[in-house]
Structure 1
């Protein structure tokens, strides 16, 4: 039986370690029949290259810093040179904030602006860069952490995620006439590189499983990755501007 993304060409960002949700999106997508190209940049490139060897098939790796206009402007041409003359889906799994952004009252505009550009505006930047190759019916999927609440320790990254979720809705509006969908997966806390960079992240780890009616395993990125692959498939042809929660049900519970 054919996989749900059989024959699709997907661009996957954000693979930094084997526990990354993006790694498992790439893995499941390949297992489900997709051809995958991945991105990384700077000093992390070598790590991504090494980790990618653990995928079912080692994919092409391109350099992409979503805050670098030269990288963005040349992305479509470099994809074509790598044999990708079209894209059926793009995963945005990118977030960064400097340490000062995790002090809400003390954080400077410089701290906040870096978080906003790298973690929110970059969704639009990536969409624009990939759009020349995106086919009718293709899908943009991003990863968020539910921004309805003022979480402990998340601070300006939480504000950036709220902007990220709003950016998704505006992209749904503007990409819809081109028959491109834009959706997000709101995952519960996973012990990833990004999570380890957040001071006090262990507060989430301690209580999430207790509050989740389905329970929650902070070491298992597969459920979130499966949701991403489903949204990258043709199984949600009329869904856009949506946030799919993969958090064990915490988002629906009272305090």
Structure 2
């Protein structure tokens, strides 16, 4: 099996329609041991959704903007696993003000940057004591090469997120740790629901994608994450794998 014996930390499981949920499901089906994270009021939601997985995994509290949570993560994970072979970053947040580019305040923007970009480095650093050669960090992005409708400062945060991935690949590569991203097309997830006007993506994406696109199907993106968490990309790092039906390669 693709992930036989792997120990994986998976963030962002809030709905059974989410990419993170399907990564956890695929990982378990492919032989991995999974630990989930959540925090605050969403702990109960994640714990409930976790029961829909083939095997109910433990849920560890982690707010990636809370330094104490980060500082104690490796120790607390040690109660469940003796090491980590992979980490999935499926985290993003921006205040509503960040979805208005011209009127968004720096406070809105800094919150988005902290939770949605800096958190990739923060999570990787927190998990680092449990990772070793051959480990993999995988994050989820929404292609930041373009100025998308309605995405605004979250798009800027994703550009920073993608740059963060490249720097992580540089700094963790000497330890044999790979860092890659999956740029997924629009999926109807919790994150999508928080973006005003996100339907604009959903309505046009299928028409523009050479392979077509189903906004209700998170499995293709999840499969790409699972592959990057496996040993099948041993010399790939700093990369962005597009799972968007081919939209990224098309013109107008």
Q: Same fold (TM over 0.5)?
A: yes
Q: How many residues align?
A: 252
Q: Residue 81 of structure 1: CA displacement?
A: 1.8
C-alpha separation in 2, matches of 1:92 and 1:145: 13
C-alpha separation in 2, matches of 1:192 and 1:137: 30
Are 1:5 and 2:6 an aligned pair?
no
Structure 1 runs (4+) deviating above 3 angstroms are none
C-alpha separation in 2, matches of 1:132 and 1:91: 16
C-alpha separation in 1, matches of 2:43 and 2:214: 29
C-alpha separation in 2, matches of 1:127 and 1:12: 12
Q: Any idea what SS the aligned residue of 1:137 has?
A: strand
C-alpha separation in 2, matches of 1:108 and 1:85: 43
TM-score calculated relative to the size of structure 1: 0.98
* Correspondence for 1:20 among 18, 26, 33: 18
Q: Any idea what SS the aligned residue of 2:180 has?
A: strand
Q: How does 1:199-210 map to 2 (within 5 A)?
A: 199-210=196-207
Encode CA deviations 1:140-196: one digit per residue, 9 max, x unaligned.
000000000000000000000000000000000000000000000000000001000
2:227 corresponds in structure 1 to 230
* Correspondence for 1:74 among 72, 79, 92: 72
Long gaps (5+) in structure 2: none
Query: RMSD of the TM alignment (CA)?
Result: 0.4
TM-score calculated relative to the size of structure 2: 1.00
C-alpha separation in 1, matches of 2:78 and 2:23: 22
Q: Any idea what SS the aligned residue of 2:78 has?
A: helix
Encode CA deviations 1:193-243: one digit per residue, 9 max, x unaligned.
100000000000100000000000000000000000000000000000000
1:221 corresponds in structure 2 to 218
C-alpha separation in 2, matches of 1:92 and 1:81: 21
Q: How does 1:33-182 map to 2 (within 5 A)?
A: 33-82=31-80, 84-182=81-179
Long gaps (5+) in structure 1: none
Q: Residue 48 of structure 1: CA displacement?
A: 0.3
Q: Any idea what SS the aligned residue of 1:81 has?
A: coil
